[in-house]
C-alpha cells in the first residue's frame, strides 16, 4: 500500500464551504474519484504581487485553489488554511474553481489603467491540473490576455497544456508567451510517490517536445531537488540528458524548501517512505524553510557543469525570465543557478496571490 493510499483511511469528512463568498455549488463526480470541486464566482482575476517580492512579474492569475496533483512538498499547501481547510488531504482533494474567471479577467483588462504588464500563471496552484479538463478555463484566460496584448507566462506540470499549444502559438505571433514545464523527479516510482496526481515524467517531456516543435523556448524547472533522493550525479545527469533530448532551451533549479504546512506533510511522507532520511531532514530544516547555503553551494558545484555540458544554461533566479521573449527567439543568457529563498515561485504573501 502506497503512502498516499494510507491517507484515504482516516481523511476528514468532506466540507461544503458554506462560509465561502460566491459559492455556487459543490460537485462530486465519478470521473474525479475522491476530489470535490467547489464552484465559486470570483470578484477579481488579477492578483497584484507585493512590491517586496523578488518575483519578475507584477500580476498573477490562479483559476484554482487546491491542487489534485497532490505533490507532497508543495509550498502552496498552507494557503488552504485560509479556507479553514487543512494543508494535507484537503489541499489535494478540495479544489476551488473560479468558474467565471475568464469573464472577470476580460473586464479587468479592459480598464483604461491596465498597463499590459506581464501576467504569470502557475505561481500558486497548477492551471493545468486535472480540473482543467473538466472546466476548460485556460483558453478563455489566454484569449482575454491576448486580446489586450498582455505578455503571459505559464508554469505547469500538466500535459493538458498540449490542448492549448495551437492557441498559444497563434497568440505568440503578436504577444510574448513563455512556457515552463516543472520536471523535478526522473525516477518513475519516486515521482509517483511524491507527485501521485501528476502526469509521468515521460509525458511531461513529450509536452516539452511538442511545445519546442512549435518554436517555443521551453524552460524546465528542476524544482525541488531533494537531498539524498534526487541529487545524485547519476540522477541529475540522466535528467538533464532527457530534458535536452526533449528540446528544452534551458533549465533552472533549486533545492527543496519546506514551509509550515508543506513541512509537516512532507515529513509524514518521508516517515513512511524513507524513514532513514527523516533525522537528516529534520536537522537540515530545523531552523529554516530553506536548505543551507553549504548545501546550495554543494548542489551548484555538482549540477552547473552538467547544465553547461548539455547546453541548458538559463537565466534568472528561479522564476520565468523577466524580459519576455517572442516564440522561437532567444537572447544570450548568463546565470543558471538558483540558490536564494526567492527561488521556486514562493512569494512571501501567499494570501494575496489568489
Task: Copy the grid coordinates of residue 129.
Answer: 491540473
Per the CB < 8 A criterion, the answer to whether 303 and 184 are in contact is no
Asked if the model's pLDDT at residue 76 lies above 50, the reply is yes
**Predicted confidence band of residue 55 (pLDDT cuts 50, 70, 90):** confident
Q: Can you say whether the dihedral through the CA atoms of 188, 190, 194, 196 is positive or negative? A: positive
3 state SS of 28? strand
Nearest to 123 by CA among 90, 175, 171, 79: 79
Asked if the model's pLDDT at residue 93 lies above 60, the reply is yes
Per the CB < 8 A criterion, the answer to whether 201 and 188 are in contact is yes
Q: Each residue of 150-187: pLDDT tens digit?
A: 999 999 999 999 999 999 999 999 999 999 999 999 99
Q: What is the per-residue pLDDT for 233?
A: 98
Q: How many CB atoms are located within 10 Å of the residue 275 CB?
A: 9
**Predicted confidence band of residue 87 (pLDDT cuts 50, 70, 90):** low
Mean per-residue pLDDT, 253-275 = 94
How many whole angstroms from its chain centre is CA 128? 9
Nearest to 102 by CA among 138, 59, 60, 130: 138
Out of 48-57, 189-198, 345-354, pick the least confident: 345-354
Q: Can you say whether the dihedral through the CA atoms of 123, 124, 126, 132 is positive or negative? A: negative
Asked if the model's pLDDT at residue 2 lies above 70, the reply is no
When mean pLDDT is compared over 47-56, 203-212, 278-287, the highest value belongs to 203-212
Asked if the model's pLDDT at residue 58 lies above 90, the reply is no
Q: What is the per-residue pLDDT for 199?
A: 97
Q: How many CB atoms are located within 10 Å of the residue 352 CB?
A: 13
Asked if the model's pLDDT at residue 6 lies above 50, the reply is no
64-65/59-61 β-pairing: unpaired
**Predicted confidence band of residue 326 (pLDDT cuts 50, 70, 90):** very low
Task: Copy the grid coordinates of residue 329.
Answer: 527567439
Cβ-Cβ contacts under 8 Å for 337 (sequence gap 6 or more) = 253, 300, 303, 304
Asked if the model's pLDDT at residue 310 lies above 60, the reply is yes
Which residue would you say has higher pLDDT here, 17 or 324?
17
Please give the mean pLDDT across all residues of the chain.
84
Q: What is the pTM of this model?
A: 0.85
Cβ-Cβ contacts under 8 Å for 321 (sequence gap 6 or more) = 56, 178, 219, 314, 315
**Can you tell me the distance from the alpha carbon of 340 to that of 53, in angstroms, rounded to the nearest whole number?**
13
Q: Let me know the angle formed at the C-alpha of 40 by 39 and 43, rounded to the nearest 5 degrees.
A: 155
Q: What is the per-residue pLDDT for 79?
A: 78
**Can you tell me the distance from the alpha carbon of 229 to that of 239, in angstroms, rounded to the nearest whole number?**
13
Which residue would you say has higher pLDDT here, 37 or 331?
37
Per the CB < 8 A criterion, the answer to whether 343 and 317 are in contact is yes
Q: Each residue of 101-159: pLDDT tens digit?
A: 999 999 999 999 999 999 999 988 999 999 999 999 999 999 999 999 999 999 999 99
3 state SS of 182? strand
**Can you tell me the distance from the alpha carbon of 150 to that of 223, in angstroms, rounded to the nearest whole number?**
27
Amino acid at each position: 500500500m502506497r503512502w498516499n493510499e494510507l491517507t484515504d483511511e482516516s481523511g476528514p469528512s468532506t466540507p461544503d464551504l458554506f462560509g465561502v463568498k460566491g459559492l455556487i455549488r459543490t460537485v462530486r463526480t465519478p470521473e474525479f474519484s475522491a476530489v470535490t470541486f467547489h464552484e465559486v464566482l470570483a470578484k477579481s482575476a488579477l492578483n497584484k504581487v507585493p512590491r517586496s517580492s523578488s518575483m519578475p512579474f507584477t500580476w498573477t492569475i490562479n483559476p484554482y485553489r487546491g491542487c489534485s496533483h497532490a505533490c507532497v512538498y508543495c509550498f502552496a499547501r498552507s494557503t488552504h488554511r485560509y479556507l479553514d481547510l487543512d494543508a494535507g488531504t484537503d489541499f489535494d482533494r478540495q479544489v476551488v474553481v473560479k468558474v467565471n474567471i475568464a469573464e472577470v479577467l476580460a473586464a479587468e483588462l479592459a480598464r483604461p489603467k491596465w498597463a499590459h504588464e506581464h501576467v504569470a500563471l502557475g505561481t500558486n496552484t497548477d492551471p493545468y491540473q486535472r480540473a482543467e479538463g473538466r472546466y476548460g478555463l485556460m483558453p478563455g484566460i489566454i484569449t482575454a490576455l491576448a486580446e489586450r496584448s498582455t505578455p503571459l507566462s505559464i508554469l505547469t506540470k500538466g500535459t493538458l497544456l498540449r490542448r492549448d499549444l495551437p492557441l498559444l502559438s497563434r497568440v505568440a505571433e503578436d504577444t510574448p508567451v513563455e512556457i515552463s514545464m516543472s520536471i523535478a523527479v526522473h525516477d518513475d516510482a519516486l515521482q509517483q510517490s511524491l507527485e501521485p496526481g501528476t502526469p509521468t515524467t515521460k509525458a511531461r517531456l513529450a509536452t516539452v517536445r511538442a511545445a519546442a516543435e512549435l518554436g517555443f523556448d521551453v524552460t524546465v524547472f528542476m524544482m525541488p531537488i531533494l537531498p539524498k533522493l534526487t541529487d545524485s550525479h547519476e540522477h541529475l545527469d540522466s535528467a538533464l540528458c532527457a530534458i535536452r533530448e526533449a528540446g528544452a532551451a534551458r533549465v533552472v533549479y533549486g533545492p527543496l524548501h519546506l514551509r509550515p504546512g508543506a513541512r509537516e506533510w512532507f515529513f509524514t511522507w518521508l516517515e513512511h517512505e524513507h524513514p532513514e532520511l527523516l533525522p537528516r531532514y529534520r536537522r537540515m530544516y530545523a531552523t529554516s524553510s530553506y536548505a543551507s547555503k553549504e548545501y546550495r553551494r554543494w548542489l551548484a558545484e555538482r549540477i552547473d557543469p552538467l547544465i553547461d555540458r548539455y547546453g541548458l544554461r538559463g537565466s534568472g533566479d528561479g522564476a520565468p525570465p523577466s524580459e519576455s521573449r517572442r516564440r522561437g527567439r532567444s537572447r544570450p543568457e548568463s546565470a543558471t543557478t538558483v540558490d536564494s529563498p526567492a527561488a521556486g515561485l514562493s512569494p512571501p504573501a501567499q494570501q494575496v496571490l489568489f
